[in-house]
Amino acid sequence: MEIKGRAFRSIWMDPANLSEVKIIDERHLPHELVIERLLTVKDAATAIRDMHIRGAPLIGITAAFGMYLAGLELGDDPDYDRKLMAAADVLRETRPTAVNLSWAIEQQLLCLGRKTIGTKNTRAKRTGPEKTEALRTNALKLAEEDVEICRMIGVHGVPLIREIYEKKEDTVNILTHCNAGWLATVDYGTATSPIYQAHNAGIPIHVWVDETRPRNQGARLTAWELGQHGVPHTIVPDNTGGHLMQHGLVDLCIVGSDRTTVTGDVANKIGTYLKALAARDNGIPFYVALPGTSIDWTLKDGLKQIPIETRDPDEVRYIKGWDGEKYQRVLLTPEDSPAINYGFDITPARLVSGLITERGICEAAEHSILTLYPEFAPIA
Ligand code: MRU
C-alpha cells in the first residue's frame, strides 16, 4: 500500500544489504514514520514482543526473518543446528496467541529439513551460510505468499460488500476492530483487503474504526491506513459499536483473527466478542477475514485451548499521545488502582457469519473449513 503516494510494505529487505531486515516501527504511527533496522534475532524478538510490529501474519513473517538473522549471527558455527533451535524457542515465546508465529518458525525449520529428503547426508554437508541463505530465500517466499493470500482475501470479500451496496444503493458502512490492515500483514491486510478492493472498484464505503483500547490500534493504525488510501472512515470509542448497530448505521462487520480453531472459534483483539454479540442481536453479518496460516488445525475449542496473552497493566493505566511535537505518556488512572490487560478474546463460531479466506468464504464450522482446506482433513 502507499504512504504519501509511495509504495510501502510493512517488512522488507534491501537486496543490496543482506545483513538487515527493515520494518516500520508502528509504535510511532500515526505521527511519525520510523523505519527500524533489525540486525539480530534479538532485535526481531524485541520487535515482536514490544509490538514495534504486530498483527498475526506480520508477527509470523517477522519471526521467519528473525530465523534468518539468527542464521547470519551463527555464521559457520559448528553448533549451528542446536543454536538455531534455541533462537526458534526465543522467537516462539514472544507472543502466545497468534498461531502464525509458530507456523512461520516451523516453515523455516522445515525448509532446512526438507532439502535433505531423498538426498543422502545433504544436511551434514550444508554449511551454516548455506542454511542461512535457505532461511533468507524462504522468508522472502513466505512474505510474498502472505501478500498474495491477503490480496485473494480481498477478491473473495468484495462480493459481500457489493451485494449490500446493490441492495441498499447507498454507502456501505463497515465496522472493524483493531488493525487487521496492511500494517498487520505484509501488504493489503486481511479485514481491510476487501475494503480497499471494494473502494478501488468504486463501491461507496464508510468504515467505523473501533479505537481498540488499550493500545489503540484502530485509532492510530487503521484510521491512518484508511486515510492514506482515501477510504472514508470515522473513529469511534470501543463502546459505541452496539449503539451504531441498533440505529442501522452498520451494514457489515469485518475483523481479523490471531488464531482460529478448526471448528471456527476465533481469537482476535480483546473486544471482538462484544461486537459479535451486538451484531448477532441486531441481525448484522459478522465476518472474520483470515489467511489459512491463522487456522490452528490442532484445536477444536477456542475458549479452552487458545492461550490468551496478558500484557503489562501499564498499557491500560497510561496513555500515549502526540502533543504537537513529540509523544507524551501520561497516567490515566488512580496511581494505586490495579489494572488487567488481556490482549485477546474468543468469539465462538456460532456468532461468526463466515470466514473470508484466500480460498473463498466458508462457514465457521469444521466441515466447511475443511472443504476449503482438504489437505488438513483427518485421514479416515
Ligand atoms: O495485539 P495485536 O495488535 O498484534 O493484535 C492484532 C489483532 O488482533 C488483529 O486483528 C489480528 O492479528 C489480525 S491481523 C491481520
Q: What is the pLDDT of residues 202-239, one digit of tens each?
A: 999 999 999 999 999 999 999 999 999 999 999 999 99
Whether 257 lines ligand 1, by a CB cut-off of 6 Å, is yes
Element (H, E) at 58: helix 56-74
| DSSP 3-state of 280 | helix
Q: Are strands 205-210 and 233-236 parallel, antiparallel or unpaired?
A: parallel
Residue with cell 492461550: 307
Stretch 259-280: mean pLDDT: 98
Res. 38: pLDDT tops 50: yes
Digit-coded pLDDT (tens) for 167-211: 999 999 999 999 999 999 999 999 999 999 999 999 999 999 999
Res. 297: pLDDT tops 50: yes
What pLDDT, on a 0 to 100 scale, did the predictor assign at position 379?
83
CA distance 110 to 93: 19
Best residue for ligand 1 mutational test, from 178, 253, 341 (most atoms within 8 Å of Cβ): 178
Question: Where does the pLDDT of residue 91 fall: very low under 50, low under 70, confident under 90, or very high at 90 and above?
Answer: very high
CA distance 303 to 95: 18
In the annotation, is 258 catalytic? yes
Question: What is the identity of the amino acid at 179?
Answer: N
Whether 178 lines ligand 1, by a CB cut-off of 6 Å, is yes
Q: Which residues contact 159 (CB under 8 A, 6 or more apart)?
A: none
Q: Which amino acid residue places its CA nearest to atom 15 of ligand 1?
A: 180
Digit-coded pLDDT (tens) for 136-150: 999 999 999 999 999
CA distance 353 to 359: 17
269: which strand partners?
344
Q: Which residues contact 127 (CB under 8 A, 6 or more apart)?
A: 76
Residues composing the chain: 380
Res. 123: pLDDT tops 70: no
Å from CA of 67 to ligand 1 middle: 22
Nearest ligand 1 atom to alpha carbon 191: 15
Whether 55 lines ligand 1, by a CB cut-off of 6 Å, is yes
CB contact at 8 A, 178 and 222 = yes
What pLDDT, on a 0 to 100 scale, did the predictor assign at position 114?
54
Q: How far apart are the first and last CA of the chain?
A: 44
Digit-coded pLDDT (tens) for 303-358: 999 999 999 999 999 999 999 999 999 999 999 999 999 999 999 999 999 999 99
Catalytic residue among 210, 238, 258, 296, which? 258
